[in-house]
Chains A and B, each alone.
Chain A
């Protein structure tokens, strides 16, 4: 009896404490009490944020091991759903089918924009959204029609169910049919390499991945950036999500709360995204 009572008190305390955790933003020193591993996989846009958070936590407490892998939004859903990783990242909201099948819980943590990008030496730096649609639908095929060099436009796209593709296709291309001859690359990183190496390329990728190797294209006079995305001038934006199967374990929950903390917000901003709260 006493043993049972003790257990109940302990359990209640545990629930209270962990409930507390859920509500409060936590700091690095709170990780001292934990031990174990977190496996993360999925969306490629999330990687910079996950890596930096993982690095800081593992430096604070070497007994925690966090692995971060990519794979893409679908891999994130699949692996988290099958219980192969603790956190599966997605660059889009989960579909009802996915929630029903796997019982996943979503944690949106950042806002990201998707921008059309070109090679830095491209003379065309601003287009209207109609012109961008015409390029991706194959109606405009030469840069000289847009005031650039006399060169074929090389269109690069992403696979159909990519989170990055979904927002660009849905919000900017109005779900029109992208020209079939477009080259398809498999991640934000691959898109950056492809466009940075091809002077006549146009592609699209997450604003957080933009650096000096490529140029974001101004759309209807608005240059896509963290600032224009946050003040609402640049409309092609999406949320980034972490997903867990059911409610997360205390350690995984601590990681998620850390992403939500002020430290996390700073990491998210430094990675080129906008903290979602």
Chain B
């Protein structure tokens, strides 16, 4: 039974990969890889480059991860170790609730609140920017990271708490010097999941990042992610040449995710 379940997920992942490669083939033969792996998206003059979108995807999801991870560690420590029972319970409930808020709500609310704020306060650009999307996305992936990481924290905490108390460590010392190093693996796993959620998210970047197919020069520039690119092209097109670039974008996304997965795992492995 378990074997069957494992097989299903492995086969599903593999067949997606194979299907993507199959669909990308026309580009390999017709346009040549050069057309897709280039830095310009101007489909009507024959430039089908999706590299700016890849950079956009990477900047956005790494940015969101950078913002969400420290926050998540803080919240997890608060909920699991440091806080008194009652506030911990409330925060925990809020985090659980946050997982059930649909992405489109974050996007929608951000358009009306965050975008004008960023436009007026910073007086730069249109408010639809890398920064806006990063902020919204970090909130989106926060509960994922918190929930996974605090599961690890709780497990270690239950076996370590008495020992630490016996040595005479304060709660903060206990968290910083005992729990944090012990749960490094949990942190890696949690951030992989968070990253996966971030790079796969479409609506936040589609609604908030401005979708300009250029490489961002600053946080206030507008970007287009691979996922938003797929959504934009699919929504209005079906038979032209640049339709195939969508599958290239999909393949790239798939490979990117795999690569980051491996890197984070390697880093985590070395550290522990």
Contacting pair A161 B233 (CB below 8 A): yes
Contacts of B112 in A (CB 8 A): 197
A72 touches B127 (CB 8 A): no
Q: Which of A167-200 contact B (CB under 8 A)?
A: 175, 177, 180-186, 190, 193-194, 197-198
Name A175's closest neighbour in chain B (CB-CB): B44
Docked-complex contact B212 and A154, CB < 8 angstroms: no
CB <8 Å contact, A101 and B239: yes
A129–B242 CA distance with the chains assembled, in angstroms: 29
CB closest chain-A residue, reference B112: A197
Min CB distance A19 to B, Å, is 32
Q: How far is the CB of A91 from chain B (nearest CB, A)?
A: 9
**Which of A81, A159, A165, A185 has a CB less than 8 Å from the CB of B238?**
A81
Q: With a CB–CB cut-off of 8 A, which chain A residues contact B43?
A: 160
- B residues 219-272 in Cβ contact with A at 8 Å: 222, 224, 231-240, 242
Q: Which chain B residue has the least Cβ–Cβ distance from A151?
A: B123
Contact A159 B235 (CB under 8 A): yes
Q: Which residues of B contact A190 (CB under 8 A)?
A: 207
User: CA of A185 to CA of B107 in the docked complex: distance in angstroms?
Assistant: 13
Min C-beta distance of B8 to chain A, whole Å: 25
Given contacts A160-B43, A184-B224, contact A78 B238 (CB under 8 A): yes
Chain A 68-87 near chain B by CB (<8 Å), digits 1 or 0: 00011111011001000000
A197 touches B212 (CB 8 A): no
Q: Are A186 and B126 in contact (CB under 8 A)?
A: no
Is the CB of A247 closer than 8 A to any CB of chain B? Answer: no
Q: Indicate if the CB atoms of A159 and B233 lie closer than 8 Å.
A: yes
B242 touches A186 (CB 8 A): no
Q: Type the 1/0 row for A136-151, where 1 means its CB is closer than 8 Å to any CB of B.
A: 0000000000000000
Q: Report how far A116 CA is from B50 CA in the complex, Å.
A: 29
Q: How far does the alpha carbon of A180 sit from the alpha carbon of B224 in the complex, in Å?
A: 12
Give how many A-B residue pairs fall within 8 Å (CB-CB): 91
Please tell me if the beta carbons of A161 and B236 are within 8 angstroms of each other in the complex: yes
Closest chain A residue, CB of each to CB of B40: A180
Question: In this assembly, does B184 line the interface, its C-beta being within 8 Å of a C-beta of chain A?
Answer: no
A156: which B residues are within 8 A, CB to CB?
126
Closest beta carbon of chain A to B224's beta carbon, Å: 7
Q: CB-CB < 8 A to B224: which residues of A? A: 184
Given A183-B128, A183-B212, decide whether A193 and B111 contact each other with a Cβ distance below 8 A. Answer: yes
Q: Is B6 an interface residue (CB 8 A)?
A: no
Residues of chain B from 89 to 120 with CB closer than 8 A to chain A in the complex: 111-112, 115-116, 119
**Number of residues on chain A facing chain B (CB within 8 A):** 36
Question: A193 to B239, alpha carbons, bound, how many Å?
Answer: 30
Tell me the A25-62 residues at the B interface (CB within 8 Å).
none
Residue pair A159, B232 in contact (C-beta under 8 Å)? yes
* Chain A min CB distance to B246 (Å): 10
**Which of A183, A193, A197 is packed against the most chain B CB atoms within 10 Å?**
A183
Is the beta-carbon distance between A194 and B238 smaller than 8 angstroms? no
A158–B111 CA distance with the chains assembled, in angstroms? 17
Residues A198 and B126 in contact in the complex (CB < 8 Å), given A182-B212, A186-B206:
yes
Give the complex CA separation of A186 and B234 in angstroms: 11
Assembly CA distance A194 to B208 (angstroms)? 10
Contact A186 B231 (CB under 8 A): yes
- Cβ of B42 < 8 Å from any Cβ of A? yes
Contact partners of B239 in chain A: CB under 8 A: 77, 95, 97-98, 101
Q: Which of A156, A158, A180 has the most CB of B within 10 A?
A: A180
22 A-B residue pairings within 8 Å (CB atoms): A73-B235, A74-B235, A78-B234, A78-B238, A81-B238, A158-B236, A160-B43, A160-B44, A160-B236, A160-B237, A160-B242, A161-B233, A180-B212, A180-B213, A181-B212, A181-B214, A181-B222, A182-B212, A183-B210, A183-B212, A184-B224, A184-B232
Q: A95-B239, A98-B238, A160-B242 are in contact. List 5 more A-B contacts (CB 8 A).
A: A159-B237, A160-B43, A160-B44, A160-B233, A162-B236
B residues apposed to A, CB below 8 Å: 42-45, 111-112, 115-116, 119, 125-128, 206-207, 210-214, 222, 224, 231-240, 242
Q: List the 7 closest pairs (A to B, CB-CB), nearest first.
A: A72-B235, A161-B237, A184-B211, A161-B236, A74-B236, A183-B210, A159-B232
